[in-house]
Amino acid sequence: MKKLLLSGFLAIATIAGLSAQKAGYDPVKAPYGKGEDSVKCLRNLSLMQTSAKAEDYKGALEPWRTAYEECPASSKNIYIYGPRIFKSFHASETDPAKKKEYLDKVMEIYDNRLKNKYFSDDVKGTILALKTYDYMELAGDKADSKLIYQWLGEAISDMKSGMNPPDAYSYYMVSSLTQFLTDQSKKNQYITDYFTITGYVDEAIRNANAANDKANADYLALVKDGIVKGFVNSGAGDCKTLTEYYADKVEPNKDNKEFLNEVINALGYVGCSESDLYFTASEYMYKLEPSAGAAIGLANKALRDKDYDTAIKYYHDGARMETDKNKASDYMLQLAGIFSNQRNFARSRQAAYDALEFNPNNGAAYILIGQLYASSAQNIFPETEKRGLVFCAAVDKMQRAKSVDPSVTSEANRYINQYSGYFMDTETAFMMGIKAGESVFIPGWIGESTTVRLK
């Protein structure tokens, strides 16, 4: 116990002395000092590192203090192990005043590392992020969100899409959201932060994919997903708010591709893709640079205006220009749904097959085709008794759906159970000369064969 108290006293005494480096010390030409000073510096660095690596932070304190004060430019480890030493004291301390002193010391070490710039490979943004993380850990629920916002804002401004560690994006947006929830006048600030940060994250994901760094790309995608969910649930990101936010900004920026993309993506995120502003931004964007997003925006406008031929054209254009094959497949499936609602079964099926060209594992496309078959069962054969054969073809598609896409298994099985109830019964099949297991051709717009199933 006495040893612990002595160690705590020594730590607090250390806090009082701020880098009182010796007169004549040259951090550039002689970072270790000269003569006996350099020997002393190297000895203390060795003792500090040995103790710190063994997590003997009490033993590391005195040699760390000497190195920190007398040869601060000699080793980056001074600034790496320093915070660890005082964080360990903070963790075992119960006196709030002393804990505050340990926190202040950790912050001072980071500030000196940033201020002195002894180490050319140091990155300001990374050090600021690490400083912020330690502050949040040590301050706990007393952490000031304004400080977190300020420090991480500086860090991200320094590194932009190259922010490391990347979860700084998340913490920054949490601090921005916290300020908005506390003070509603911060709404525009939060919205601006949201689009700035998601822009950086999107660029970081593209860079990671270009470098074949899948693990980093996947992690960044999770970071973005959390930021997007926070925004959508914040109340700041509803359709009305974003429309008002961008209303007077689109026209002056009609030649700004980056800005127009932001508007299109923002309104799309919150389900506001049928607003006049969304369509206006899409039209300007399409004139500047035809893109998948702008094409789909124009397709939605055409649908709203019941201009179906134009909508079809833009859906095809959007799918063709989309680099993400899954998204392209979904675009064509949306088009298939439009045709289905119009009861244009043949064109709906073709659009669904187009969706499968982009993504052969899109089970939803096969489910839609099966639904189309079932919806037209009454009108395929002259003999209504044969409609059960059409349901056999519908079940074929449901079976195919779950074989290519396990995520739709439950839905496919539900339809299989439902449609199986419409199969021909054995007696009717016998009377019509139809046998279970044989292949039959389904005429009309379906025009394909299926295997007879009976109930």
Per-residue pLDDT tens digits for 38-74: 899 999 999 999 999 999 999 999 999 999 999 999 9
Helix (H) or strand (E) holding 448: strand 448-451
> In whole angstroms, what is the distance from residue 328 CA to residue 296 CA?
10
| Whether 155 contacts 124, CB under 8 Å | yes
> In whole angstroms, what is the distance from residue 243 CA to residue 246 CA?
5
Output the pLDDT for position 261. 82
Per-residue pLDDT tens digits for 396-447: 999 999 999 999 999 999 999 999 999 999 999 999 999 999 999 999 999 9
What tokens were used for 406? 């396990």
HSE-up of residue 213 (Cα within 13 Å, Cβ side): 12
Cα separations (Å) of 37 from 21, 23, 68, 116?
A: 11, 12, 13, 20
> In whole angstroms, what is the distance from residue 377 CA to residue 331 CA?
27
Output the pLDDT for position 35. 64
Secondary structure (DSSP) of 136-165: HHHHGGG--HHHHHHHHHHHHHHHGGG-SS
165 preceded by a cis bond (ω within 30 of 0):
yes
Indicate the pLDDT class of residue 152, thresholds 50, 70 and 90: very high
Per-residue pLDDT tens digits for 229-261: 898 788 887 888 888 888 998 999 999 988 888
Helix (H) or strand (E) holding 440: strand 439-442
Q: Is 101 exposed, middle or buried, given 0-12, 13-18 or 19+ CB atoms closer than 10 A?
A: buried
117 backbone φψ class: left, alpha, beta (φ>0; ψ -120 to 50): left
143 backbone φψ class: left, alpha, beta (φ>0; ψ -120 to 50): beta
First to last CA, the chain: 83
Q: What is the mean pLDDT of the chain?
A: 89
Q: Which of 244 and 133 is assigned the larger pLDDT? A: 133
Q: How many CB atoms lie within 10 A of CB 187?
A: 18
By mean pLDDT, which of 22-26, 94-98, 204-208, 404-408 is the weakest?
A: 22-26
> In whole angstroms, what is the distance from residue 180 CA to residue 175 CA?
9
Q: Is 394 exposed, middle or buried, given 0-12, 13-18 or 19+ CB atoms closer than 10 A?
A: buried
Output the pLDDT for position 266. 79
Per-residue pLDDT tens digits for 382-405: 888 899 999 999 999 999 999 999
> In whole angstroms, what is the distance from residue 200 CA to residue 198 CA?
5
| 302 has pLDDT over 70 | yes
> In whole angstroms, what is the distance from residue 160 CA to residue 157 CA?
5
| 308 has pLDDT over 90 | no
Mean per-residue pLDDT, 172-177: 96
Per-residue pLDDT tens digits for 348-387: 999 999 999 999 999 999 999 999 999 999 999 988 889 9
pTM: 0.57
β-bridge mates for residue 449, sequence order:
441
> In whole angstroms, what is the distance from residue 259 CA to residue 293 CA?
13
> In whole angstroms, what is the distance from residue 384 CA to residue 90 CA?
82
